[in-house]
């Protein structure tokens, strides 16, 4: 029943490696972008606050599939954006990462904003009293404490991102879900075995993430 795994025809590990890469690049990117967005949303500049709010409210409500296909069909096929990639393989990967960052950043931003709310106002007021600027207050006093409070919610975002990477199959990025489609086309007799292998693959990817970061969350949380 599982002979499709040993036939050497399918590079299951390679496909999951692409999934891991997609996840890592997108995670780093959305952490940065989400932090910037959170900074905007709490900043004293009204225009930045408005932009942050509008961006988060709009982008997080667009289905991810629409964003990813829009990146590929709209940006690449119609407008000719390549993000410096030469082949469709590179272009597709980069566009997918771009789409995931744009989407996941909104969730990181909202998680972080809730973390900022856990920091007592007195902290920021004390920092202001010392003469620190808004940027200094945010990066030196507020955000370090906020991050420690939101490790657990960010873990959920990361796990969701890992699973969301399967959407990249829609624009031909050769990750796990695309290989699964290929295998279903070729191995109809082993349909459930194929599903099982890929389901297990994702559990193997996400379960340790959850356990590890859950432990980290407990270690670093600020006890108030």
Taking Cα atoms as reference points, which of 160, 130, 149, 29 lies closest to residue 83?
A: 29
Q: CA-CA distance, 132 to 219, in Å (whole number)?
A: 29
CB of 65 to other proteins, least distance (A): 9
Q: CA-CA distance, 42 to 44, in Å (whole number)?
A: 7
Identify which of residues 27 and 194 has a Cβ nearer to other proteins in the complex. 194
Taking Cα atoms as reference points, which of 156, 157, 160, 171 lies closest to residue 66?
A: 171
Q: Which helix (DSSP H) or strand (DSSP E) does residue 100 occupy?
A: helix 88-118
Taking Cα atoms as reference points, which of 167, 45, 51 lies closest to residue 106?
A: 51
CB of 91 to other proteins, least distance (A): 8
CB of 197 to other proteins, least distance (A): 15
CB of 124 to other proteins, least distance (A): 48
Give the footprint of other proteins on this chain (CB under 8 A). 69, 72-73, 76-78, 80, 87-89, 92, 169-172, 178-189, 191
Using the Cα atoms of residue 24, residue 30, residue 33 and residue 36 in order, give the sign of their dihedral. negative
Is residue 172 within 8 A of residue 166, CB to CB? The reply is: no
Q: Is 128 exposed, middle or buried (0-12, 13-18, 19+ CB in 10 A)?
A: middle
Identify which of residues 181 and 218 has a Cβ nearer to other proteins in the complex. 181
CB of 194 to other proteins, least distance (A): 10
Q: CA-CA distance, 29 to 106, in Å (whole number)?
A: 12
Identify which of residues 110 and 175 has a Cβ nearer to other proteins in the complex. 175
Identify which of residues 144 and 196 has a Cβ nearer to other proteins in the complex. 196
CB of 46 to other proteins, least distance (A): 40
Return the residue matching tokens 């420690």: 148
Identify which of residues 76 and 206 has a Cβ nearer to other proteins in the complex. 76
Identify which of residues 146 and 169 has a Cβ nearer to other proteins in the complex. 169
């Amino acid at each position: 029943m599982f002979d499709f795994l040993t036939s050497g025809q399918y590079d299951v590990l390679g496909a999951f490696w692409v999934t891991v890469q997609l996840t890592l690049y997108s995670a780093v990117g959305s952490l940065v972008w989400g932090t910037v967005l959170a900074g905007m949303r709490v900043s004293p500049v009204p225009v930045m606050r408005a932009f942050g709010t509008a961006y988060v409210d709009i982008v997080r409500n667009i289905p991810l599939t629409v964003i990813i296909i829009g990146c590929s069909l709209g940006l690449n096929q119609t407008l000719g954006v390549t993000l410096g990639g030469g082949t469709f393989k590179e272009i597709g990967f980069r566009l997918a990462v771009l789409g995931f960052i744009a989407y996941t950043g909104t969730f990181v931003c909202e998680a972080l904003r809730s973390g900022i709310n856990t920091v007592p106002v007195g902290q920021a007021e004390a920092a202001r009293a010392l003469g620190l600027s808004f940027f200094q207050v945010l990066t030196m006093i507020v955000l370090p404490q906020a991050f420690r409070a939101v490790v657990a919610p960010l873990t959920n975002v990361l796990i969701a991102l890992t699973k969301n990477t399967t959407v990249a199959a829609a624009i031909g990025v050769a990750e796990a879900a695309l290989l699964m489609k290929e295998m279903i086309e070729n191995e109809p007799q082993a349909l459930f075995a194929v599903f099982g292998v890929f389901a297990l693959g994702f559990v193997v990817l996400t379960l340790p993430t959850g356990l590890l970061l859950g432990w980290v969350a407990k270690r670093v949380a600020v006890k108030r």
